[in-house]
Chain A
Amino acid sequence: MATKLVKNALGRLVPTEINGKKQIPFQGVGKYRPDYRKYNPPVATCADFPTGNKLIVDLKTALEAAGLRNGMTISTHHHFRNGDLLAVEIFRIASELCIKDLVWFPSASFPCHDKIIDYMENGTVHHIEGSMNGPLGRYCSEGKMKGVGVLRSHGGRYQAVQDGEVLIDIAVIAAPTADPFGNANGLTGPSACGLLGFALADSQYAHKVIVVTDNLIDFPCIPWQIQGNYVDYVVKMDKIGEPEKIISGTTQITKSPDRLLIAELTAQLCREAGLIKNGFSFQAGAGGTSLAIAYYFEQIMHEKNIKARFARGGSNQYLVKMLEEGLVDYILDGQTFDLEGVRSMRENPRHVDTSPFTSYNYHGKGNFAPLVDIVILGATEVDIHFNANVNTHSDGYLLHGIGGWQNCLFSKTVILPIPLFRDRIPVIRDEVTTITGPGELIDVIVTERGIAINPNRQDLLDALKKTRLPIKPIEQLKIEAEKICGIPEKPNLGEEIVAIIKWVDGTVIDAVRRVIPL
């Protein structure tokens, strides 16, 4: 496949066509302007749903009724995380029906989806447009997938569906609770996962929508996080998820002294820079370090008698505690990470479910991301221009999806607390293996050996000048890491492109090359 490559605004060589579709190279933050109308799914009629009872006997019948055939795009959501049983079941059925060349369009994939490799091997699945890691990432990285992978952020996924870049033929929405009309939510039932925001675009734009539940209740299912008016079929199954893998019982703050040190430095930096003030807002993830940062924030807020206006989820027990203690007015939540998060969302009107449309979609009239004062994110690698990689390991293998990471970069202060090296692999590099986000949007890197502040944040540099914080030029951190670890070799990569990384506006920010196995 000879694809024409062009240099994008970050100097990365990216393809102009993928899987038979034209691609636009990244043009710079905010540079690309859409000049087209949104995608319209076909108009439906109530004449087809005279009783409003959309129950159908099983998933196979539903897929057949939805017109499953070769080459279709099938979407699923990842609110069940590593406990999802549905996606594999869909492709098992498709394989049994001898359907070929499907595109799987999940909002993210997990190790529970590794079996889909078998369905790529037998031709049922052509390629995946969504995150790939573990064995799926290996499979794609080594060039074994028939098509090219497309990785998008949560907001980018909504944008792609809304803009018609991806036409979903059939959306299958796993629903912890649903009624026969198709109204659904994630709040109760054995597979409760909190909310269903990642499936919103799928429900609105897919040609056919199937809701699958293991907890069917009488109409009305309240609240209807997914509206039945978008839904074609409802299927009742015995089990759609494994609860202990959907939600962790309790999320835990890290015990590692090295990570705690990074968390403490991060909190101290936010405090000294005056970012923690009355009415502020923040987002911290669910990783052990992020939880520790939220914990330190809590202490600072108590001590200085400060309240936050809102916190962005992923929610967890610590955030819920802050909400219930009155330290934050609202949690605007994208996903719930533990049982406390689910409980709070169910019981507390100030714990609000959001979707990629409200929070992250770049092709809308604004979104929530720039309203957040402090956002804490991770990264695999950062280069000396602050460009960061979350997608590939330094050896070239696909490692993580983008999640909401790109979307969060639009927040007021973006902080990446990361170790200077992992095992022996330096995190700050001359050049990252893959660019997921442009350095102009990344403000601070906090490592255990020093803090680097983007020179374009002179305000932060000034505010922190007189503190005891170990602020260093990013180049110096890079040198320190290399002095300890040595300078790694370049990974052995082929020319062939196995996946592309989309920016939030649908343009191509980077391409992932095939890893040549050892």
Chain B
Amino acid sequence: MKQTGAAGNRGPDIRSDCYFEIELTDSGGIQMDIRSKVDRLFGTENRQLIRDMLDFFDIPNAKVILEDSGALPFVMMARIEAAVKKVTDTNKEYLPELIPENRYSTQRDRYRRSRLYLPGNTPKLFINAGLHQSDGIILDLEDSVAPAKKDEARILVRNALRRNDFYGTERMVRINQHSRGLKDLEFVVPQHVNLILIPKCESADQLAAVDLKIQEILTSHQLDYPVYLMPIIESAKGIINAYSIACASENVVALAIGLEDYTADLGIQRTSEGKETFFARNVIVNAARAAGIQAIDSVFSDVADQEGLRTVVKESKSLGFEGMGCIHPRQVPIIHETFAPGESEIEKAKKIVTAFYEAEEKGLGVVALGSKMIDPPVVKRAQKTIFLAIDAGKLAKNWSKSYGN
């Protein structure tokens, strides 16, 4: 083991984060060098936290440096723990409180129109992420985290899942590939995570390995909540295996496509027209439908081009996708608006849902609209349409009260 370790970020542009450095010493107790923007307001608390944590990790003597740019406590805890784990070999975890607000589970078939990517080692983006009303947030441990920062990001994401309020959005984590990804699961699965994104998924076996590991972790922690899976198909091979991946576990709730990597795999350029990915997108939608799960589209990476985004979402919807990734909160409203049902869809759905309620009221087992029988899946889809219309502000919440009058 090394004698010194560090974690976190520092510099004039860093906010809501801190940098923590530790050097083990033989004597002299804990010596602290603290530079904090908020030292006059939180200095005592921060010093106490450092003492408590070093005590917890059985470190009696050390020199530490804290450069604090207004880090929230769960962030500071993650930075201290990550630095400590570079100088001591320990399996102990210093866990912040798992707040009651984060103990919710989500439904298999809930709406996943938008999922907002958050780079896993940038805590300032976590804090308000849930306020932007995306259906899900993704704490990303994969591409947005530099290789040297992977270990500390895991701890930070673990703490965020416990302590940061995401205001009811579906809390997802994108793990790394292969064995690193399986290790990531140990950090995030026990924290009431809702869904795991598996990047560059190419086979049912790959997915099954993740699923098995999750079940092992849940069992060993005596936890019992659903952890859904959303494999991301990003290669030619993945496209070929899409259906078997979709069917590999009952926990798979959606198939997502990643077009940057997919076009790279084909050795072609990604264009805004997207002809080159038309086949792959159709395969994803078809495989997802066949498996009875959702199809989710790739991200649109030009944040400034809101009209371009709208065009892409329209096409995405017409192909049968039900959601899309977002890389900026400003994309969320456009995605929701465009995925929202159109006027004629809403009208049709209103008729079906009304017929359903009437049948229920009368105690009829069969729903009929005029002379046509309506199957349960059609009712379910209509109910979903109604929900989306209300959520997009296209339909009043109490629409049924005035309907038909």
Residues of A within 8 A of B (CB): 257-258, 260-261, 394-396, 422-425, 448-449, 484-486, 488-489, 491-492, 518
B56 on the interface (CB 8 Å rule)?
no
A424 close to B40 (CB less than 8 A): no
Q: How far is the CB of B325 from chain A (nearest CB, A)?
A: 16
Cα separation A492 to B43 with both chains bound (whole Å): 12
Which of the residues B16, B41, B73, B131 comes within 8 Å of A394, measured between beta carbons?
B41
Cα separation A261 to B134 with both chains bound (whole Å): 13
* Beyond known contacts A424-B70, A425-B38: 5 more, CB 8 A cutoff: A258-B128, A261-B132, A424-B42, A425-B41, A488-B41
B103 on the interface (CB 8 Å rule)?
no
Assess A425 versus B330: contact at CB under 8 Å? Given A448-B128, A448-B131, A489-B41.
no
Q: How far is the CB of B278 from chain A (nearest CB, A)?
A: 32
Contact with A along B39-56 (1 / 0, CB 8 A): 111111100000000000
18 residue pairs of the A-B complex, CB under 8 angstroms, read A257-B328, A261-B128, A261-B329, A394-B41, A395-B41, A423-B15, A424-B42, A449-B131, A484-B165, A486-B42, A486-B73, A488-B38, A489-B40, A489-B44, A489-B45, A491-B40, A518-B39, A518-B43
A395 close to B72 (CB less than 8 A): no
Cα separation A394 to B38 with both chains bound (whole Å): 9
Q: How far is the CB of B100 from chain A (nearest CB, A)?
A: 11
A424 close to B38 (CB less than 8 A): yes
A423 close to B70 (CB less than 8 A): yes
Contact with A along B308-345 (1 / 0, CB 8 A): 00000000000000000000111000000000000000
Specify which chain B residues have a CB less than 8 angstroms from the CB of A257 in the assembled complex.
128, 132, 328-330
Closest 9 CB pairs of A and B: A423-B70, A488-B41, A257-B329, A395-B40, A424-B70, A258-B128, A491-B40, A424-B38, A448-B131
Q: How far is the CB of A66 from chain B (nearest CB, A)?
A: 44
Cα separation A243 to B394 with both chains bound (whole Å): 50
B235 on the interface (CB 8 Å rule)?
no
B159 on the interface (CB 8 Å rule)?
no
Specify which chain B residues have a CB less than 8 angstroms from the CB of A260 in the assembled complex.
330
B266 on the interface (CB 8 Å rule)?
no
Which of the residues B72, B329, B330 comes within 8 Å of A484, measured between beta carbons?
B72
B37 close to A492 (CB less than 8 A): no
Cα separation A27 to B55 with both chains bound (whole Å): 54
- The closest CB in chain A to the CB of B333 belongs to A264
Specify which chain A residues have a CB less than 8 angstroms from the CB of B73 in the assembled complex.
486
Cα separation A254 to B38 with both chains bound (whole Å): 25
A258 close to B16 (CB less than 8 A): no
Cα separation A122 to B42 with both chains bound (whole Å): 36
In the complex, chain B residues 18-75 whose Cβ is within 8 Å of any chain A Cβ? 37-45, 69-73
Cα separation A155 to B193 with both chains bound (whole Å): 55
Specify which chain B residues have a CB less than 8 angstroms from the CB of A396 in the assembled complex.
40
Which of the residues B71, B328, B329 comes within 8 Å of A424, measured between beta carbons?
B71
Q: How far is the CB of B73 from chain A (nearest CB, A)?
A: 6
B146 on the interface (CB 8 Å rule)?
no
Q: How far is the CB of A370 from chain B (nearest CB, A)?
A: 35
Specify which chain A residues have a CB less than 8 angstroms from the CB of B41 in the assembled complex.
394-395, 424-425, 488-489, 491
Specify which chain A residues have a CB less than 8 angstroms from the CB of B127 in the assembled complex.
484
Q: How far is the CB of B88 from chain A (nearest CB, A)?
A: 27
- The closest CB in chain A to the CB of B116 belongs to A257
Specify which chain B residues have a CB less than 8 angstroms from the CB of A448 in the assembled complex.
128, 131
B131 close to A423 (CB less than 8 A): no
- The closest CB in chain A to the CB of B328 belongs to A257
Q: How far is the CB of B304 from chain A (nearest CB, A)?
A: 9
Cα separation A491 to B44 with both chains bound (whole Å): 12
Specify which chain A residues have a CB less than 8 angstroms from the CB of B128 in the assembled complex.
257-258, 261, 448
In the complex, chain B residues 119-177 whose Cβ is within 8 Å of any chain A Cβ? 127-128, 131-132, 165
B132 close to A423 (CB less than 8 A): no
Specify which chain B residues have a CB less than 8 angstroms from the CB of A518 in the assembled complex.
39-40, 43
Specify which chain B residues have a CB less than 8 angstroms from the CB of A422 in the assembled complex.
70
Cα separation A491 to B39 with both chains bound (whole Å): 10
B44 close to A423 (CB less than 8 A): no
